[in-house]
Amino acid sequence: MGDGLRRCTADRDLRAVTWIALFTETFGFSFIFFLPDLVNNVLGHDERVLGVVTALFSVGGIAGTLVLTGLGEVRWRGWGLMLASAAFGALFLAAGLSGNIWLTGALMLAAGSASVVYDVFVSVLFQTLAPDEARGRVVAVHGMMISGINVGACIVGGLAELRGTRFALALATAGVTLNALRLLPVGGALSRRSSAAKTVAVIGGDG
Amino acid sequence: MAVVIGALRAPEMLARGGLTYEVAGPGGIVNALSLQFLGIHLSSVIGPLVAGQLLHGPGDGALFPGLAAAVIAGAIGVLRIPRRPVAAATGRHAEA
């Protein structure tokens, strides 16, 4: 794990992807933990509405994967990652601030699509930017970032106790968007390097 | 059991990602991962429906054998992927 972290911090492109993963997983995806509180206590709806809103997030995810699969091997992977992360944070921010449950539902649908675009591109970039001999260790860092969802939930939860759910969610999701916008200039370099990856770790043998 | 499942989830995710990259190669990785996430999202919709039917019918005792059968079926599918020598260990590389 130490070697994977060293590689992720030493390489400028991998460092950018790691920062995006850290912020999006920790402060973006932890939003899901607070959805029941948002729907029930802030917007004043029952569990049936919560079920619909949660389902809309999944439907958005399915729609996003279908669109991505239809697009084939896209080359704008770096731009896609940055924009998906920025959109993901912005959509969650708007959903958290919305006073209308149906607008929240529509925003969750769109956030579901953005989340899956982020998920695909962050996985693709970790895989393609990692050197062959250290791919497992670099991808393990991504796995560690995914575990950050629980850490993020604790941080955002603590903040929600102090300043309210809406304030905590707004701060967390705005952080996701601002971090992605900060790293947007690296998007072009990430796209070029990822699309140029040719080496594969397997040779010979047809089974 | 929850601890064991949790501990196995992380290596499973890493192995799945690595295997996907080796099978699809850098030229097909976006499509392969998109399909993988499509499968995950579809199963997150279908899975609870099936689990609900099992709970309503045979009861919660049938859920775990059903889950185990699904995992074993997945493992058998993975074992059918042809084995190939890994180039990284020898320093040799092939291009996709």
What pLDDT does A89 receive?
A: 94
pTM of the model: 0.83
pLDDT band at B94 (very low <50, low <70, confident <90, very high): very low
Give how far B57 is from chain A: nearest CA, Å.
Answer: 23
Provide the domain count of chain A. Answer: 1
Q: Does residue A204 lie within any of the structural domains?
A: no
Residue B79: the pLDDT is 87
Of A53-57, A121-125, B87-91, least confident by mean pLDDT is: B87-91
Kindly list the residues from chain B whose CB atom is less than 8 angstroms away from the CB atom of residue A61.
37, 41
What does the pLDDT look like over A68-122, one tens digit per residue? 988 888 888 999 999 999 999 999 999 888 888 889 999 999 999 999 999 999 9
pLDDT per position as a tens digit, B53-78: 888 888 878 888 888 898 899 889 88
pLDDT digits 0-9 by tens, B79-90: 888 776 554 444
Dihedral angle, C-alpha B19, A29, A9, A155, nearest 10 °: -140
- With CB atoms and an 8 Å threshold, state whether B85 touches A140: no
Q: Name the residue with higher pLDDT: A27 or A148.
A: A27
Question: A112 to chain B, minimum CA–CA distance in Å?
Answer: 10
Mean pLDDT value across residues A161-169? 90
Q: Does A206 map to a domain?
A: no
Cα–Cα–Cα angle for B7, B39, A93, rounded to 5 degrees: 80
Ordered alpha helix ranges (H), A130-186: 135-163, 165-182
Domain annotation covers residue A166: yes
Any idea what the CATH number is for the domain that residue A127 is in?
1.20.1250.20
Q: Around Cβ B85, how many Cβ atoms within 10 Å? A: 11
Do A169 and A159 touch, CB atoms closer than 8 A? no
Residue A178, domain extent: 2-194
